[in-house]
Amino acid sequence: MKNIPLLLRYLAPYKGKIVLYFFTALLSVVFSLFSFAMLAPVLQVLFNGKQKPGTTDTGFISRATEFIHNIILEQSQLRALSYAVIMFVLATILKNLFI
């Protein structure tokens, strides 16, 4: 316990870098969760076809499912899959960038 104030004194010049590290680590976790959360709605809509998904929840996954479903109705399943893959790749690149 006596060494903690000494350690904090040595870390004082690096305060900005420590805050930046925790911020980028948080963004990395957010983009990691986003990239995996996007897989469920895309697969659900693509395999259900043109039928409307039963969305009673107002969470992220149900909103994403509705968004993908609307893309399928307005354009095509291939276009929806393309958008989903692009979003997944971008989220993965951003996650790795912030790591």
Q: Report mean pLDDT in 10-residue bins for the chain, 99 residues.
A: 84 90 89 76 67 59 75 80 80 81
Residue found by looking up tokens 């900005």 in the block: 16
| pTM for this prediction | 0.59
pLDDT of residue 51: 55
- 42, 65, 71, 37 alpha-carbon torsion, rounded to 10°: -50
pLDDT of residue 46: 67
> What one-letter code names the amino acid at 34?
F
The rounded distance, in Å, linking the Cα atoms of 16 and 20 is: 6
User: Using CB atoms within 10 A of its CB, is residue 65 exposed (0-12), middle (13-18) or buried (19+)?
Assistant: buried
The rounded distance, in Å, linking the Cα atoms of 33 and 36 is: 5
The rounded distance, in Å, linking the Cα atoms of 70 and 52 is: 9
pLDDT of residue 50: 54
Residue found by looking up tokens 């998904």 in the block: 53
pLDDT of residue 49: 60
